[in-house]
Amino acid sequence: MKKYLLILVILSLCFACEKQGGKKVTGGSTEDVVQDKNSGQIEKNLKDFLKGKFPAKDLKITYSDLHPIHGGTKISFTGTGEVKRETRRKPEKDVHNVSAEDVKTLVKKLIELKCWEQRKSETGDPPNVRRTDQSKGFLTIKTGAIKLRIWEYHQSRVRTLSVFILMKSLATK
């Protein structure tokens, strides 16, 4: 199962990068970033969480690609390791709560991918890409009273998809 997920991640990232014109997934120029007023605080809180300076009970990470027609999945992790999932139209393996180390692995991935930044390239159509549907994948990070949401079109998900696959693998292992 893990090999299948790894292959799926690699293929999806290659396909998405190709669609994005080969843009680097983890980087992004400052011109490409749409700054949210809470971005800096979310980044600080995530880094503080890894250092043990931010309370686990105040952290919640949610991925959702639920669509009224196509179905989809919504999965949430709390800083304490509680996992909840809602699915529509497709059967899924049962999820379970995760360890503190698993939550830290997820937070490290969020930091690596700079998931507090909304990229213009994710909200606009890349050149030569025709959208057949406008479905989106959403990633919501809540640290205390501060909440931030980024999104990518379903057909060109890179960051949100890699976070979703990690969340799913941690919750079903």
How does pLDDT run across 9-68, given as a tens digit for each residue? 454 544 444 334 333 334 444 456 666 788 899 999 999 999 999 999 999 999 998 887
Q: What stretches of the chain show up as alpha helix (H) in DSSP?
A: 2-19, 39-51, 100-112, 120-123, 159-172
Centroid of chain to Cα 96: 19
Per-domain residue ranges of the chain:
2-23+33-126+133-172
* Rounded Cα–Cα distance for residues 61 and 63 (Å): 7
pLDDT digit string (tens) for 53-109?
Answer: 999 999 999 999 888 777 888 999 999 999 999 888 777 778 899 999 999 999 999
State residue 104's pLDDT score.
96
Evaluate if residue 129 carries a pLDDT over 80. no
> What is the pTM (predicted TM-score) of this model?
0.74
Query: What pLDDT, on a 0 to 100 scale, did the predictor assign at position 95?
Result: 86
Contact between residue 163 and residue 138 where contact means Cβ atoms under 8 Å apart = no
Q: What is the four-CA torsion angle of 23, 167, 118, 26, rounded to 10 degrees?
A: -30
pLDDT (0 to 100) of residue 136: 84
Residues 6+ apart with CB under 8 A from 34: 117, 118, 119, 120, 123
Between residues 133 and 21, the one the model is more confident about: 133
